[in-house]
Every structure is written in structure tokens, then in C-alpha cells.
Structure 1
Amino acid sequence: MRLISRLRYFANGVAIDEFDAATQTFLSVQDNIQRILNSRRGGLAHLPDYGLGDLSRIYRHLPASAHTLKNEIETTLLRYEPRLKAIDLTIEETEPGMLLSFTMSCHLHRLGLVQFGTHFAPDGQTRLKLLKADRERE
């Protein structure tokens, strides 16, 4: 049995077959980005630079450290999410209950643009919300 046939749901519990192929890709990218941003560097022996560094150091020095985190996110995602060809992060006004918020614009190879609201929570987790998905015109 192929792996893809075993995968029936996205990380948020929504069934994969509820969406067309392009939307499946956008949501799959969202799942992978969220997984990467919620991983910490050094957590995988075979990929020591996978994930983000110690966020407590970033949080301690906010707002000055927001640009450091922004650069770290861009570098890490471009390395570990192969469907991305470019990424733009804009620091936003922090949402209530969060420590830091970004709008993440991801330019995908051959598919288009997807934007996520990206929020760093006090519990150490990063949450992504799909804001916009634009398919490239063929």
C-alpha cells in the first residue's frame, strides 16, 4: 500500500479528499511549515539544523529579536520545505494572547502564492492560519 493512500487527514483533522489537488498542496505545505516551526534545532540527530533555535532567547529580547527570528525562519523553511521558491515575512501587530505575529507569504514552485498568519504562543507552539491561496495562471 502506498504511503499517500494511508494518509487520509491533514494535521488539523480535515479529510484530504475534501479538497482539490492545488488546495491539498497548500494545506500540505501549511502542515509541514507548522511541523518545522514547532521543532527545535538539535532535536533530530540526522538533521541537526532542522527546526528553530531556542525561542526563549528570542522571546526574552523582543521586540529587538523579531528580525533575528524572521531571518531564521526564512533560512530554515527554504532549506526544509522544497515546494517553496521564496518566502516573505512581515512582522505584524501581535495578536491577543500571542508573543509575536507574522504574515508569511510563501511563493511555491509551479503553484502560486499562499499566505499564513503565523503566531508564536506563550506555550512554545507556533500556529499557522491560512489567509490566502492564489494559484498561478497557466
Structure 2
Amino acid sequence: MTRGGPGLFEAVTGHFANGAAVDDFDAATQTFLSVQDNIQRILNSRRYGLAHLPDYGLDDLSEIYRHLPSSAHKLRGAIETTLLKYEPRLASIEIDIEDTEPGMLLSFTMNCYLCQAGLVRFGTHFTLDGQTRLTMLKADHDRD
């Protein structure tokens, strides 16, 4: 049986980060959107920003950006390690470096295998303003 639905943050607020109401989606889609929101929060956070979780988020990206394209592999490893630790719904993740989209510094595709909900694929883009943006490319629900 597949269990799904919003995370605690979305359940309390009643909406996702993009403003969409939680109740507008089925349980599986709620899970995918909740994971997307959480991953985006993690990737837009910097280490040592939370005293009680000093390894939450990514290191300062200026060093990564300064040494592109060779540093993209280092960032890919940091993303994988951090997301597997702080997004408990992830069973595994595969990250591919992609051609950089116009207006972006770096682009990845993340194939996220969720423990109970299936596969979701995100386009992940690091922007010139220092933010990370995710777009859902594909979501496949597990079927019993």
C-alpha cells in the first residue's frame, strides 16, 4: 500500500511553497510537491545557518561557482549526501550534470526514488542570484 500526502509544514499551512492549496492534489502528488518544497529549502540553506543542525544545507557556493565546471562534481556529491540525510522520504537519488540552461550557473537532473511514493524527477538550477530552483519534470506513482 502506498502512503502519501503532504509533509508537516504543508499540512499545517494548508499550501505548498508555490501557493497552491494542498487539497487541490491527490495524496501522491501532495507527496511529490512536499518533497520538492523540502529539497528546495535544503538547497537554498547554507551550512552553519542553524546552530542545532550545522550540516543542514550546502556550503557557501561561491567557491563552487568560482571553480566551475570542475567543481560541479563536488557539488553533486554534497547535494546527494545532504538530501539523503535531511529528506527522509528519499530512498535513493541519482544526480546528472546537465548542460547549463540560459541564465543559470549550473543545472542538474535529480532522479529521486521515494520510499513509499515512487520516482520523481526534478530539473535543478542554480541561478545567478544564488538561489536554487526546482521544477518537477516527471512523477511516477508506484502501483500495487
Same fold (TM over 0.5): yes
1:24 corresponding residue in structure 2? 30
Aligned letter for 2:88? P
Higher relative contact order (CA closer than 8 Å, sequence separation 6+): 2
Counterpart among 71, 76, 99 of residue 70 in structure 1: 76
Partner of residue 14, structure 1: 20
List gaps (5 residues or longer) in structure 1: none
2:88 pairs with one of 82, 85, 97: 82
Q: Is the 8 A contact 2:10 2:22 kept in 1?
A: no
Cα deviation for residue 111 of structure 1 reads: 1.1
Name the CA shift for 1:133/1:5 in 2 (closer, same or farther; >3 Å): closer
Paired residue secondary structure (1:99): strand
Moved more, 2-11 or 126-135: 2-11
Unaligned runs of 5+ in 2: 1-7
Aligned counterparts of 1:6 and 1:30: Cα–Cα separation in 2: 17
Q: Using structure 2 for the length normalisation, give the TM-score.
A: 0.92
The one-character-per-residue Cα deviations of 1:73-119 (angstroms, maximum 9, x if unpaired) are 00000000000010000000100000000000000002100000000
Cα deviation 1:34-76 (Å, max 9, x = unaligned): 0000000000000000000010000000000000000000000
Report the TM-score, using the length of structure 1 for normalisation. 0.96
Give the letter for the 1:64 counterpart.
Answer: S
